[in-house]
Structure 1
Amino acid sequence: MRALHLRRATALVTATVVLGGLPALTAAAAPARSTASAAHHPRPTEVRPVPLQGAVNVRDLGGYRTDRGRQVRHGQVFRGDALGRLTDADLAALAALDLRTVLDFRTPEEVARDGADRLPAGLAPTARPVADLGLYATTTAAIGSKDPVKQRELLGDGKAERLMRDIYRTFVTDRDSRRQFAATLRDVATGRTPLLFHCTSGKDRTGWMGYLLLRALDVPSPAAERDYLLSNAFRAEADRKVREGLRQSGYMEDPGLLVPLQEVRADYLGAALDQIRRDYGGFHGYLTKGLGLDARTLAGLRARLVR
């Protein structure tokens, strides 16, 4: 019984760390609520977050300017983190978005562990699982060991960063991942909007999808990258609480080892873009050859989302 409790507790804290859920530690382990701001991760004023109590990284992808000076429409595509802990007030806020489609990039294991999306009446999520390349298993082993030496062996000396870069490369190389991202772009192009896509943290799979969409709409790369990096601002306080909870509960002597897994970084995105150059010669080749999108689909994206 004690071993079962330990496995469940380990899975719970890992869920909050690896794939970015909100802190869900026991009351004894959780630090006091803080009002500290993420001043070192400023949020551009044009970004429109969707304030929710049960999720921290839900926002509108509209408002960005294309390289021709046009603007991405607001209220059509949203990106987010896990939606399983939404409150009744959150459901009302989501209902006000008039969503037609919700796409979930989490794996079946994540959904079973964290729970299905909680959505307004009449909405059901569409599963679009994208694998994590062993991220969850690696971090489970590290946290569950409670052993500082093993944790450093698994995550220290640049290992966590290398794992993250490898995950981003698989967004480009893995056929199933490409299929899920392509299907999402087709959903937008064929009018299944307003649409929200999400994973658990809303930063890696969701961040890559957001970057792809903005670039497909001819938003310049620096602006699309800025949107990708904004997850650090929206997640900063929740992630800090998780690290402090792990330290106080005795799971980790050095929870800073988890920072590379909790953050998004330009070099993670750069790993995927480098893979695109190697495999497809450039971004357009990835869209057309890697994702199999034809000119009609790409034109449909711009027609629906750019004004």
Structure 2
Amino acid sequence: MIRDPFLPTDGIHNFRDFGGWQIAGTGRVKSGLLWRSGQHVGASDADLQAIDALGIKTVIDLRGASERERNPCRRAPGWDGKVIAFEGETSSSPPHMDVAPDTTTAEFARQRMIGVYTRMPRNPAMTEMFSRYFVALADREGASLVHCFAGKDRTGVAAMLVLHVLGADRDQQMAEFLRTNDAPTLEVLASQSVPGIEERLGRKLDEEAIRALLEVQEDYLATFWRVVEEDHGSLDRYLEDALGVDEVLKDRLRARFVA
């Protein structure tokens, strides 16, 4: 990356540009067009002003209907872009908050997250939303923002898929995924998440368990790759067969987003 990808924010977690990655032999993913973040329910007025300056015309909201109802995102006054969202539920709850009574230690929390990434490639709602994201990237002008609740699991996979299509290698896909752990706003996500998790469990989480739920680990994304390859043979077959991202669409996206 050429510059710090994180946009300073007061009330949004993990807002960053996921462009800038080097594409072997062909150039670099353009910066300033591909943004990702957590939800904007706690966005400050200063956050909205900073976001408004980015020229974002399309927001892909990967949360389900009940998540959006509980946590309505703030937008800049007069913003005239388009929000693309699923009409039903994309998950039973935000993935990092989909906990069970045994989720009290880091290992239990990690196993819960492994379950999230095992289910995600087979989730019809997420399949539809990933597909709609690619169509929007190809068809709509201006910059885009993809987000979910935490901006790390559903959003992390969406960003990985885009980078794969644009030609970033697997090491760079993983590096972008893990960059979530460098976000300077973890306390924002913790304030939005931990009280609800602990209320659901009826007990306190230890610090390592909280980090296992609120951050990401290599084996989370590796699990997604493994399940995709078990079901489809390769990530490219998944993209084409499940998401409808064929070579024509890939060429359109590379022409637009690779410099």
For Structure 1 versus Structure 2, the TM-score category normalised by the shorter chain is 0.7 to 0.9
Within 5 Å, give how 1:34-113 maps onto structure 2.
46-113=3-70
Stretches of structure 1 lacking an aligned partner (at least 5 in a row): 1-43, 143-150
Question: Offset of 1:219 from its aligned partner?
Answer: 0.6
Within 5 Å, give how 1:1-307 maps onto structure 2.
46-121=3-78, 122-128=80-86, 131-133=90-92, 135=95, 138-139=98-99, 151=101, 153-156=102-105, 158-234=107-183, 237-238=186-187, 242=191, 252=204, 254-307=206-259
Question: Offset of 1:240 from its aligned partner?
Answer: 9.2
- Partners of 1:97 and 1:255 in 2: CA distance: 35
Conserved? CA contact 2:13–2:185, under 8 Å: no
- Partners of 2:89 and 2:24 in 1: CA distance: 30
Counterpart secondary structure, 1:100: strand
- Across the aligned residues of Structure 1 and Structure 2, the Cα RMSD in angstroms comes to 2.7
Conserved? CA contact 2:121–2:127, under 8 Å: yes
- Partners of 2:135 and 2:252 in 1: CA distance: 9
Conserved? CA contact 1:53–1:90, under 8 Å: yes
Greater Cα radius of gyration, structure 1 or 2: 1
Conserved? CA contact 1:130–1:205, under 8 Å: no
- Partners of 1:78 and 1:190 in 2: CA distance: 17
Question: Offset of 1:104 from its aligned partner?
Answer: 0.9
Query: 1:104 and 1:240, CA in 2 relative to 1: closer, same or farther beyond 3 A?
Result: closer
- Partners of 1:260 and 1:49 in 2: CA distance: 21
- Partners of 1:73 and 1:177 in 2: CA distance: 26
Question: Offset of 1:255 from its aligned partner?
Answer: 4.5
Between the two proteins, the alignment pairs up a number of residues equal to: 250
Deviation per residue, 1:42-88 (Å, 9 max, x gap): xx663422212121311112111112241111111111111122222
Query: 1:154 and 1:217, CA in 2 relative to 1: closer, same or farther beyond 3 A?
Result: same
Report the identity percentage: 26
Query: 1:216 and 1:174, CA in 2 relative to 1: closer, same or farther beyond 3 A?
Result: same
Counterpart secondary structure, 1:49: coil
TM-score (norm 2): 0.85
1:10 is aligned to none
Comparing 186-195 with 233-242, greater Cα deviation is found at: 233-242
Comparing 218-227 with 228-237, greater Cα deviation is found at: 228-237
Question: Offset of 1:167 from its aligned partner?
Answer: 1.3
Query: 1:57 and 1:237, CA in 2 relative to 1: closer, same or farther beyond 3 A?
Result: closer
- Partners of 1:183 and 1:115 in 2: CA distance: 21
Question: Offset of 1:263 from its aligned partner?
Answer: 1.4
Query: 1:80 and 1:93, CA in 2 relative to 1: closer, same or farther beyond 3 A?
Result: same
Conserved? CA contact 2:20–2:29, under 8 Å: yes
Counterpart secondary structure, 2:36: strand
Stretches of structure 2 lacking an aligned partner (at least 5 in a row): none
For residue 167 of structure 2, what is the amino acid of its counterpart?
D
TM-score (norm 1): 0.73
- Partners of 1:120 and 1:283 in 2: CA distance: 40
